[in-house]
């Protein structure tokens, strides 16, 4: 099955009992048993719910794994994955991971003895040196936010395997439509489904897929024990969003390449970060491991004042955090998502005050281009 077909026919299609072509929303907490302990696959909705199960089967198919899991947010998904580890374990992570991932590792899980350190995983050679005796997992985000850095997943998974450590990939930016980390050697892939998978800025959710039965059983045990599950309504909304993921991602990409081309020729833009650009340092790796470059682009307009002026003038780009939805969003990472990172560290990473990040939506590209043009006129 090709990806666009899989988005619609993957997982569980419709409802056997009635012929409904959409999986029903099973708004239910418990299930009648035919005898004590004799149930029909569902006993209590924290353990399993038919609507959530359909979503979990769908994401499992889309990521080409063995088991799928749905959580109440991307961070709940990540926390559950980290609970596969134990006190005394160490995780080596991409240095510019999502801020919430950095926060949960350094402010919450550290208190339970799970240690994290950070390395530029785009530089594969630097990883080996950072592996410790107690390193149990490599956590990779690619592409990253807001600088769209790329990590070579195949190379990294090879290093992890050689050291008997797990490779975990945050695949939020690429989505399973463009990139499938499990097929490149990763063990666990996770998503903030709040972004492209949902796609309409109306649901917060997290998804995980694993490619090993034992890890699958362990993660189900954690999901059921800690209980951060996704409800049936939101599971249904996600499935509805996922059906159009293919056409959305194709359009996001088309609009983005038009905008990147426009920005590349603009005198007021000093730097553009987009993996689809041949000048991107990891363009070849991006091309090798993903089928598309996505709809996120960052560019530098030189100063905080200029960035603020652009943000004030745009009409079709909504000033907001988050990404991956039908409406275009714009942000200044230094003042918003990355404000908690000290200025010196931000400068080191390249997150300057004039850096603008856009999540290109599905509006008509001509309107987006005209809008940027008037906003950049200064």
Ligand X SMILES: *Cc1c(COP(=O)(O)O)cnc(C)c1O
Q: Which residues contact ligand X (rule: CB under 6 A)?
A: 73-75, 98, 100-101, 141, 145, 170, 172, 192, 194-195, 204, 206
Residue 186 beta carbon to ligand X: minimum distance, rounded to whole angstroms: 15
> What tokens were used for 371?
């809008």
> What tokens were used for 56?
């979990």
Interatomic CA distance for residues 250 and 292, integer angstroms: 8
Alpha helices in 167-207 (DSSP H): 175-178
Residue 252 beta carbon to ligand X: minimum distance, rounded to whole angstroms: 15
Nearest to ligand X of 206, 232 (CB atom): 206
Residue 14 beta carbon to ligand X: minimum distance, rounded to whole angstroms: 27
Using left for φ > 0, alpha for ψ between -120 and 50, and beta otherwise, residue 175 falls in left
Nearest to ligand X of 63, 141 (CB atom): 141
136 is annotated as an active-site residue: no
Residue 129 beta carbon to ligand X: minimum distance, rounded to whole angstroms: 26
98 is annotated as an active-site residue: yes
Q: Are 325 and 200 in contact (CB under 8 A)?
A: yes
Q: Which residue is nearest to ligand X (CB)?
A: 74
Nearest to ligand X of 148, 269 (CB atom): 148
> What tokens were used for 340?
């908690």
Residue 178 beta carbon to ligand X: minimum distance, rounded to whole angstroms: 14
Give the Cα-Cα-Cα angle 122, 127, 130 (nearest 5 degrees): 140
Q: From residue 51, how far is each of 4, 46, 232, 239 by CA, in Å?
A: 21, 12, 5, 9
Q: Out of 89, 95, 96, 170, pick the active-site residue.
A: 170
40 is annotated as an active-site residue: no
Interatomic CA distance for residues 277 and 261, integer angstroms: 9
Nearest to ligand X of 151, 194 (CB atom): 194
Q: Out of 3, 46, 66, 240, pick the active-site residue.
A: 46
2 is annotated as an active-site residue: no
> What tokens were used for 286?
């991006």
Interatomic CA distance for residues 339 and 330, integer angstroms: 15
Q: Out of 195, 248, 306, 357, pick the active-site residue.
A: 195
Nearest to ligand X of 306, 357 (CB atom): 357
Phi, psi (rounded to 5 degrees) for 157: -65, -35
Active site residues: 46, 98, 170, 195
């Amino acid at each position: 099955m090709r990806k666009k077909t899989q988005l619609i026919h993957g997982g569980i299609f419709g409802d056997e009992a009635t012929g409904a072509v959409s999986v029903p929303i099973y708004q239910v907490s418990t299930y009648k048993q035919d005898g004590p302990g004799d149930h029909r696959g569902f006993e209590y909705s924290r353990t399993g719910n038919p609507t959530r199960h359909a979503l979990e089967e769908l994401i499992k198919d889309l990521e080409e794994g063995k088991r799928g899991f749905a959580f109440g947010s991307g961070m709940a998904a990540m926390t559950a994955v980290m609970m596969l580890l134990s006190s005394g374990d160490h995780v080596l992570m991409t240095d510019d991971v999502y801020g919430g991932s950095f926060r949960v590792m350094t402010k919450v899980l550290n208190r339970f003895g799970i240690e994290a350190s950070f390395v530029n995983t785009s530089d594969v050679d630097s990883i080996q040196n950072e592996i410790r005796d107690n390193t149990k997992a490599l956590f990779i985000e690619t592409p990253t936010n807001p600088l769209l850095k790329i990590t070579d997943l195949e190379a990294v998974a090879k290093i992890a395997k050689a050291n008997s450590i797990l490779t975990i990939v945050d695949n939020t930016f690429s989505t399973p439509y463009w990139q499938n980390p499990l097929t490149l050697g990763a063990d666990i892939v996770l998503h903030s489904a709040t972004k492209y998978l949902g796609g309409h800025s109306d649901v917060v959710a997290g998804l995980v897929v694993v490619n090993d039965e034992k890890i699958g059983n362990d993660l189900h045990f954690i999901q059921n024990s800690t209980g951060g599950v996704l409800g049936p309504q939101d599971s249904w909304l996600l499935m509805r969003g996922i059906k159009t993921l293919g056409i959305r991602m194709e359009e996001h990409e088309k609009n983005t390449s038009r905008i990147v081309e426009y920005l590349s020729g603009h005198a007021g833009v000093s730097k553009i970060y987009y993996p689809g650009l041949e000048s991107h340092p990891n363009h070849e790796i991006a091309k090798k491991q993903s089928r598309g470059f996505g709809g996120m682009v960052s560019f530098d307009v030189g100063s905080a004042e200029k960035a603020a002026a652009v943000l004030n003038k745009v009409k079709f780009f909504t000033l907001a955090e988050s990404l991956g939805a039908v409406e275009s969003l714009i942000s200044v990472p230094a003042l918003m998502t990355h404000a908690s990172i000290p200025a010196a560290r931000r400068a080191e990473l390249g997150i300057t005050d004039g850096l603008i990040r856009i999540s290109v939506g599905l509006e008509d590209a001509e309107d987006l281009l005209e809008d940027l043009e008037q906003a950049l006129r200064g």
